[in-house]
Every structure is written in C-alpha cells, then in structure tokens.
Amino acid sequence: MQNRRSFLKSSLALPMTMSGGSILGSLAGFNAQAADTSGYRALVCVFLFGGMDCHDTVLPYDTASYNDYADIRAPLLDTYAALPGGSTRTRESLLALTPLNNTFGARQFALPPQMSAMHTLFTQGRAAIVGNVGPLTEPTDRAGFYNNSAQLPARLFSHNDQQSTWMSFAPEGSQLGWGGRFGDATMTGNLQSVFSQISLAGNSVFLTGERVSPFQISADGVPAIRLIEAAPAQLGSLLRDHFDSTGANRSNLFERDVINLSRVSLAANDTLGNALLSSTAINTPFPTSGLGAQLRAVAQTIAVRDTLGASRQVFFVSIGGFDTHSTQAADLPGLQQDISDSISAFYSATEELGVANEVTTFTAADFGRTLTVNGDGTDHGWGSHHFVVGGAVKGGEIYGDIPVSQLEHSQDAGNGRLIPSLSVEQFAAPMGSWFGLNQQELNTALPGLANFTAGGLNLFV
C-alpha cells in the first residue's frame, strides 16, 4: 500500500503545471459569482478515452431484446465464446438490473459480469445509469440527421474533436471546459483557488475556466518533482531556485506573469505536500491499476480539503484503451472491471472519509460505438450510456433512454450509432446545480442548455 510520503514524492504537481489559462484568468477581472459554496462538494470526472462500447456495457436482458442484440452481434459474441472461460456475454452470465421505477415496460437491462462492483452500487442505490448521452447542438433524430435539417456538432466520430466537444462543447482547440466554468462560479468559496481544479490526467480543457486552471498531480510519478525532492541537497536547492526564479527582476509583463505562475505552483506544491504529510492514511484498498491509483490520489487530496481551505473541487482522471476496432472481446472486459472496481473503491473511500454525500463521480467518453460489428470489434459511434455514483445520487435508476438493440430506429445514425437522446448539457446541468450553481450560472457554464428542455434529469436527492 502506498504511504503518504511516497504519494507525496510521486504525485505532487511540479512547477508550471498550471495551464496558461491561469495567466489569462488573472487578467480577466470579471465579477465574482454568487454560487452556493456552503459545506463541501466535489465532482470527479472519469474519462474513458477511445470511446467505450455502450452496447457492451448496458446490455439488453429480456429474452426478445437480447435475441435482437445477439443476432446483430453474432460474430463478436462468437469471439467472446471462444475465449478461455468464454461465457462473458451470454444472457445467463449477465447481472440483471432492477430499476426502482421501471420506465421501459417489458424491456430489461443488465451489466456484464466484470462490473459486479458497479452492479452492487446500483442495487444499493449509490449508482445511476444515464442512457444515450452525447454532444448535441439541438434535439436530433434519424430523419433530421439524414435530411440535413438538424444542426449537428462539428466533426462527429473524430476522437480528439469529440473528446473536446464532450468537455467543452467545441472541437479540438477549444479553450474553456464546463468543469472549469463550474470552477469559475464557485472558486470564491475556496481559500486558495489553485486547488479548485485538480487533474491526474494531464492538462485537460475540461478543468479550464476563465479564472481557474488545472493543478496537475500524478499518481504514478513525476520525474521533475523527484529531481527537486530526491536530489542531493545542493542540487535540489539550485533546482528550486531555478523554478522560483530567485533573484529575477524582469521588466517584461509577460515574463513577470510566468515567474509569478511558477512561484504560485511551487507554493501550492508545498501547501499540498505539507497537508498530505500530516494527514491520516486512507485504509480502503484500491485496485493496483492506473485508474485505481488516480482515484486513490483523489481520495487522499479530498482528505486534506479542510487544510487546503477547499469548499468546491473538480477532479479529472482517465483510463484509455476503448478504441476497440479489434480484439474487443479480449480487451474490454478487463477495462470494465477496472472501471467498476476502481470507482467502487473510491466510493468506499469517500464513506471512510465521511464525505460520500458530498462527492459525485461520473463517467464520460469520446462517444459510444456501433451496434454492428466488424468481426472482433466495433467502430466509432455517438451517444453512449454513463454512470453517476455518489451518496447524494438517486441511484438504482436508469435515466434518459436506452434505444432498442435494432437498426434503423429513430435514434440510429447508421450501423447502430446512437443519436443522443440527452445532450451533454442536460447531463451536466443537475451536477452543476448540486455543485451550487444557480440557473443563471448554469446557463453561462452550459451555453447550449437553452436549446433543450429544462428540468430534465432529477439525479440528486
């Protein structure tokens, strides 16, 4: 088990890991928001890079629907069956879901056997499923898609562009994410705004706002910070003086901003480091995977929230490997188990910390995948199904829509690519409201929200 000192050496942000947005943010100078920042709230985005197959995650379970699914996916199911222990997608192997309020009539759904921990959270009312979510400009169906009457998001089916669109409502090159805009609205509730947005997966646009920027930490080692912390005393001192620009006297305003940013990062690094060294260890066991390590680091950071003076925090973690054009049967089950076990462990850690009702975790991804298969894999899709987990979540429910496992229905863009029934804005809005934003702030953070029916998802107690 990783102790606090090893976590400190391997995970603290090195100087200059705050994005350039923090320089721009310091120049923005607009009025403070009026969000409710009483108590503590945290949002944790688990991004599934590559686009996880929603059809292979929330599966049809009633006999008629499963048979439709099996007919279309026969080649992939044959590949599953041929693997060692290959019963992982037979109807009998699936974990049936029993929503508290069934809105799907005779249709039933299930999770794959590798997601037993998520299934338990769902059964306990701690996890919900939100069906067929994705980027939309306006409500769209098959007719509007094919006759070009619907305004569509730019560059559909492109990994980088749809990752960016999920995070920021615009393709690659976008500057501001909705997690960052949530941070803009609530940053005044934090004693140090630098700890508002924390990324364990690089410099994510999702966390970048007008006034807040990602503060990067790592769960698996950052060589530069090790150079400072682990180097011989004299060298470590020289490195710190370099990053601190000791003795520098610059007349150029941009150079001064860069130096100030470096010093802010170093100071924040020291603050977080000292807080972690004095914190109580978390006893909850986590998977030894990259995602497990990231979520453990999030839990350890949440544990020192009072020391950091943090009232509102947004975290970003990620796992990749979901671009399963081939070998899906071999690769996807292990990834699904990692997601399930890691999020379940994280939820248990929030219970241990006494903040289960104050932390909400949710998944996001580039897109879903096609219902049709290309042999042993699937291709890029659009809408997808996602999980929302937390003590304040109205769990044990399936929200939104899960289209039938057939082709050419009203939400099929071809080959079983789901046209989203819910926009990302509709998915994000209840989380923003729970986080403390009022309606005006939600409209600012989610600029396309007005294009969709208000008062959609009632995700929280």
Task: Look at 174 and 275; give whichever has higher pLDDT.
Answer: 174
The confidence score (pLDDT) of residue 180 equals 98
- Report whether pLDDT(81) > 50: yes
- Report whether pLDDT(370) > 90: yes
The confidence score (pLDDT) of residue 7 equals 57
What pLDDT band is residue 278 in, cutting at 50, 70 and 90? confident
Residues 6+ apart with CB under 8 A from 163: 47, 49, 172, 366
Task: Give per-residue pLDDT as tens, 301-317.
Answer: 999 999 999 999 999 99
What pLDDT band is residue 22 in, cutting at 50, 70 and 90? very low
Are 267 and 192 spatial neighbours (Cβ–Cβ below 8 Å)? no
d(CA 251, CA 269) in angstroms, rounded, equals 27
- Report whether pLDDT(205) > 70: yes
d(CA 108, CA 106) in angstroms, rounded, equals 6
d(CA 243, CA 246) in angstroms, rounded, equals 8
Give the angle 103-108-110 at the CA atoms, nearest 5°: 120
Percent of the chain with pLDDT over 70: 82
- Report whether pLDDT(1) > 50: no
Task: Look at 27 and 461; give whichever has higher pLDDT.
Answer: 461
Distances (CA, A) of 192 to 266, 313, 454: 13, 11, 34
Distances (CA, A) of 223 to 13, 217, 227: 11, 12, 6
Task: Look at 255 and 279; give whichever has higher pLDDT.
Answer: 279
Are 183 and 310 spatial neighbours (Cβ–Cβ below 8 Å)? no
Total residue length of the chain: 461
The confidence score (pLDDT) of residue 5 equals 54
Task: Look at 236 and 39; give whichever has higher pLDDT.
Answer: 39
| Helices 233-244/223-230 angle, 10° precision | 130
Residues 6+ apart with CB under 8 A from 251: none
The confidence score (pLDDT) of residue 453 equals 82
Q: What is the mean pLDDT of the chain?
A: 88
Name the residue with tokens 């070009």: 148
Nearest alpha carbon to residue 205 among 253, 251, 165, 246? 165
Are 393 and 126 spatial neighbours (Cβ–Cβ below 8 Å)? yes
Residues 6+ apart with CB under 8 A from 172: 160, 161, 163, 164
What pLDDT band is residue 34 in, cutting at 50, 70 and 90? confident
Q: Which of 4-18, 128-142, 167-181 has the lowest mean pLDDT?
A: 4-18
Task: Give per-residue pLDDT as tens, 140-192.
Answer: 999 999 999 999 999 999 999 999 999 999 999 999 999 999 999 999 999 99
Task: Look at 457 and 220; give whichever has higher pLDDT.
Answer: 457
- Report whether pLDDT(19) > 70: no
Give the angle 1-122-460 at the CA atoms, nearest 5°: 100
Q: Looking at the DSSP assignment, which residues form a beta bridge with residue 47?
A: 318, 364
d(CA 380, CA 398) in angstroms, rounded, equals 24
Distances (CA, A) of 157 to 354, 388, 414: 41, 24, 12
CB-CB neighbours of 259 under 10 Å: 17
d(CA 418, CA 141) in angstroms, rounded, equals 9
pTM here is 0.90
- Report whether pLDDT(12) > 50: yes
What pLDDT band is residue 225 in, cutting at 50, 70 and 90? very low
The confidence score (pLDDT) of residue 261 equals 61
Task: Give per-residue pLDDT as tens, 85-105.
Answer: 777 899 999 999 999 988 999
What pLDDT band is residue 256 in, cutting at 50, 70 and 90? low
Determine the average pLDDT of the residues in 58-81.
97
The confidence score (pLDDT) of residue 269 equals 79
d(CA 71, CA 86) in angstroms, rounded, equals 18
Residues 6+ apart with CB under 8 A from 188: 32, 33, 35, 37
d(CA 372, CA 144) in angstroms, rounded, equals 22
Are 359 and 352 spatial neighbours (Cβ–Cβ below 8 Å)? no
The whole-angstrom distance between residue 127's C-alpha and the CA centroid of its chain comes to 15
